[in-house]
Amino acid sequence: MLDKTNLGMIDTMKNLSEAEADAFARDWAAAWNSHDVDRIVDHYRHDIQYYSPFAGRLGASTPLSGRGGLRRYVAAALERYPSVQFGPDLVAAAGAGSIAIGYRSVDNLLAIETLAIDDHGLITLARCHYRQAPPGWAGFTSAP
């Protein structure tokens, strides 16, 4: 069912070019790799809706709503996974008002995050997907 509380976001979504999606993904990953909570959270709009199966593992429910909830989640994630690094294999695909970023995550999981981006370049909606890498999977090719 469509969440009618977020209908206002639909007309503010930004379509990114492939180059913009690659640049956004590199900057987003660099923020996570810095382990700086403020730098990470600065990529998300104040009213972010963030869906992740990791939330339950870290004592949160999903969706995480707003920057406050996201900030607590990010801090808990960095505490639980202090050596987290996204990349170097990282790929971004531009979509209709969103991008999908694929990377190798914690516990050697394949991760794909679908991120809706507003006209200010902030993430308004995040849906995170994880799975064990398929046998023989060589990984993503890094974005240029």
Is 94 part of any domain?
yes
Residue 9 lies in a domain: no
Per-residue pLDDT of 10-69, as tens digits, reads 445 678 889 999 999 999 999 999 999 999 999 999 999 999 998 888 888 778 999 999
CA 113/CA 91 separation, integer angstroms: 11
Q: Give the pLDDT of residue 12.
A: 55
Assess contact for 99 and 92: CB atoms under 8 A.
yes
Band the pLDDT of 106: cuts 50, 70, 90: confident
Q: Into how many domains does the chain fold?
A: 1
Asked whether the predicted pLDDT for residue 7 surpasses 50, the reply is no
Percent of the chain with pLDDT over 70: 88
Q: Is the pLDDT of residue 1 over 70?
A: no
Domain containing residue 32: CATH number: 3.10.450.50
CA distance 90 to 5: 32
Amino acid sitting at position 70: L
HEC assignment per residue over 48-86: EEEECCHHHHCCCCCCEEHHHHHHHHHHHHHHHCCCCCC
With the CA atoms of 13, 140, 26 and 63 taken in that order, what torsion angle do they form, in degrees rounded to the nearest 10? 50
* Distance of alpha carbon 14 from alpha carbon 77, whole angstroms: 28
Identify any residues that bridge with 90 across adjacent strands, giving them in sequence order.
Answer: 103
Residue 140 inside a domain? The answer is no
Mean predicted confidence (pLDDT) in 92-103: 92
pLDDT of residue 40: 97
Answer yes or no: is 5 within a domain: no
Q: For residue 110, is it within any domain? A: yes
Q: Cα(first)–Cα(last) distance of the chain, in Å? A: 38
Please give the model's pTM, rounded to 2 decimal places: 0.84
Domain presence at residue 126: yes
Domain that holds residue 50: 17-132
Residue 10 in domain: no
